[in-house]
Structure 1
Amino acid sequence: MAAATVLAAILAMSCCCCAAYATTAATTTTVTAAAESDRIDRLPGQPPVNFSMYSGYVTVDAAAGRALFYWLMEASGVPADSAPFVLWLNGGPGCSSVATALWRSSAPSESTPTARRSP
């Protein structure tokens, strides 16, 4: 699945929680531009990685100023069109979900005394 397609899926699930999502050429172009603006080229102080990352906010309620933070890491080592997709939403006021999601469960890294790649 291309990054723009995956991002479109995140936007569809996060914004309207709907079961079906139809894209048009205009939507795809807009999502592609949004995806590129959210691309992470590198993380300060970290070595380069062999997968694409995107991060940003998805507006849930503009009038109330509510948005969801997302950090997408594309799968590596498998064909893009058959890669599994995991959407993990947890946390809450004063309880960040980023550290748990990245370093304890489903990320490409695992925090151990000796660094190793997660299976």
Structure 2
Amino acid sequence: MIRGVRGATTVEKNEEAEIVSATRILLSSIIAENEIIPEQVASVFISVTEDLTSVFPAKALREIEGWTHVPVMCMREIPVPGSLAGCIRIMLHLNTDKSQIDIQHVYQERAVVLRPDLTAK
């Protein structure tokens, strides 16, 4: 079974170091909370809002040991007026026996407003 694991975070500045750091923290949390190993991952999509242009956030994935061969693609979010700025979203496709309810989606920083139903514990 392939399951999607979602996550999102935000940054305050359009700076490479901040974007890579926030993405690495988010990816690390998704990986840890779902006990993911790279061999289980079919692909990772990372999107950013149109105000983030200084780096491909996939760079963060390449800094995590063992993730060199995992397919990853970056893209831009639809620029909906009034949407959350400085936002990095992740959709990780995982081969797993876990049920949908057992998947742990991770929302951090200002992105917790996107899915309060998943962040309230």
- TM-score normalized with structure 1 length: 0.28
**TM, length-normalised to structure 2:** 0.28
Q: Which has the higher strand share?
A: 2
Greater relative contact order, per chain length (Cα 8 Å cut-off, separation 6+): 2
